[in-house]
Structure 1
């Protein structure tokens, strides 16, 4: 009888345990995916807000950079950072300093979203393959592997949002004297599609993709590698409780941004110039030599490099580099501070480099 009494109780306990486990799995199965989606959405929101605020703060320098890149070499209007900003203020007023910024901010959120997701997936995939190859499950990403993951993320994000970047360049370049005016991002997109065809939305895509490899790749690689090196070596007494201060992180980000944009800058100049091909109403577009001063036509990236250097010299590949460099530090600083504030409000944990 005793044995018969034990069996039912054991069976009941087993049933209860099984039900508890099934309930736990059911809860995890339902809640884990939704929680992950919410977490990713919060992280992307934090990055998007930070990007929008930082880009808006340096919008005048961004616009001046693009104007310097594509201006007519026979009719110089913008002759430096200070003079260029004063000229824009005098001829177009306060709003002229922020022309094209709405489109720029509009592409930040989807760009950040795609870049974040792509970098995470690329990092996981590359790290998995690296661990399998080395046979070390504790192996971490090397600077070169970080460069590769960042490059993959940059290429995917650039390709996904390129049409918006293309029309942003045109909105930025047009002035009050332009014969034809784009009224906004969607008007510019529809007009380019109607007048120039779908392929026009991807003019300059190749140099953009090539340029994003060193730019985004170096941003990730330099920032994270420099930060890791400082923490491990405890150099210059900058590490406290195994953490870097805000000022040190900003310096790491500034170094990464400066190196990346300097290496990739000539490709950015060529990209902007190729984006202007086919737009006959640009007021300050690059023109060729001779009395006609007709806009230069490029057959491709290599041709654009060749004609730019031949007509204007090697220095033309770095037009606008100064205002672009000047904007790097405040842009990263504002992005970091804004990101931290939004992150605290939403309750998410994510690295500034992500």
Structure 2
């Protein structure tokens, strides 16, 4: 009898506990607070969306990405091509179709986690900045300004770039090497191991400082311009946009294209310096990017300022914008495709939080 009473008591307590838990979950749901499992799933979906967006956008413009890097480090006394079309033709003629996509596998291996972390970090930075901004202004309806979006984008860019920088470093070397290079990196992991063994851990972060400085205006302006343009279009409804409809894919592509153009133009010289610094210490870099000219000095820079000074002194100010044309042709569709792909994939996966929220 006592046993039956104990069981009944235990069952009753269990039922009460279950009801209380359900009531708490219902209360949290009404207040807009998600259960931990739901939050983790939403984070994973957001990361997947960002990764897919990065992979699609970079693969679409891989030939232009490789040409840009080759132009950035090309020997000024042994120029083999000057323009976008002539450069693509030269790569096709000397290395074939595969040459156009050399380094894209490594690039995707880098850009997928980079893009995932970048988009997710941007959303979290926006949420944090919004909370601080509303508490500081005592206005719970306040929205992010373009300057605050710029700050959130800069934070996201620095976090994402720092997490994946070693992969970007070796990707640059793999992209530069050709079939005739004295030494061949067989892939990303082989390149990472070789650089670590021959040049040390710090070599994996060569060019990190100009990357950090450059990513602030680049990624920051990308997000700020994209979000601000979308908000302006939704509020002002120019060009005959419907009053009650969200922006279409074409309009979002145009916003992304404008964002990419502004960001890459401001940050491009730092990207050139970063790429050149990544070649420092590579014993085969001279024969690959400097040609066989005996009067060309070794590729050596003591730091970012020294790299700027030597580049401008030896090749002129225009050298800081080498590869800008193919990069401009590349970055406009790349940024546009990335933003739209991100939002489309999130819609498919059913993620509630949007980049604009």
Name the SS of the counterpart of 2:264 in structure 1. helix
Q: Which residue does 2:222 correspond to in 1?
A: 219
Deviations along 1:77-105, one digit per CA (max 9) or x if unpaired, are: 23110000000011111111111111110
Q: Which of residues 87, 108, 122 is equivalent to 2:125?
A: 122
Shift of 1:112: 2.1
Maintained 8 Å contact 1:81/1:322: yes
Maintained 8 Å contact 2:252/2:336: no
Q: Which residue does 1:229 correspond to in 2?
A: 232
Maintained 8 Å contact 2:47/2:117: no
Question: Structure 2: how far apart are the matches of 1:41 and 1:105?
Answer: 19
Q: How does 1:152-231 map to 2 (within 5 A)?
A: 152-231=155-234
Q: Find out whether 1:284 has 2:304 as its counterpart.
A: no
Shift of 1:353: 7.3
Q: Which residue does 1:100 correspond to in 2?
A: 103
Structure 2: runs of 5+ lacking an equivalent = 1-13
Matched residues, number = 340
Shift of 1:119: 1.7
Seen in structure 2, the aligned counterparts of structure 1 residues 287 and 273 have a Cα distance that, compared at 3 Å, is: farther
Give the structure-2-normalised TM-score: 0.88
Question: Structure 1: how far apart are the matches of 2:350 and 2:124?
Answer: 23
Q: Which residue does 1:23 correspond to in 2?
A: 22
Question: Structure 1: how far apart are the matches of 2:35 and 2:331?
Answer: 38
Question: Structure 2: how far apart are the matches of 1:144 and 1:336?
Answer: 20
Shift of 1:195: 0.2
Seen in structure 2, the aligned counterparts of structure 1 residues 132 and 92 have a Cα distance that, compared at 3 Å, is: same
Seen in structure 2, the aligned counterparts of structure 1 residues 272 and 19 have a Cα distance that, compared at 3 Å, is: closer
Question: Structure 1: how far apart are the matches of 2:18 and 2:191?
Answer: 60
Q: Which residue does 2:50 correspond to in 1?
A: 47
Maintained 8 Å contact 2:155/2:216: yes
Question: Structure 2: how far apart are the matches of 1:146 and 1:200?
Answer: 33
Structure 1: runs of 5+ lacking an equivalent = 1-14
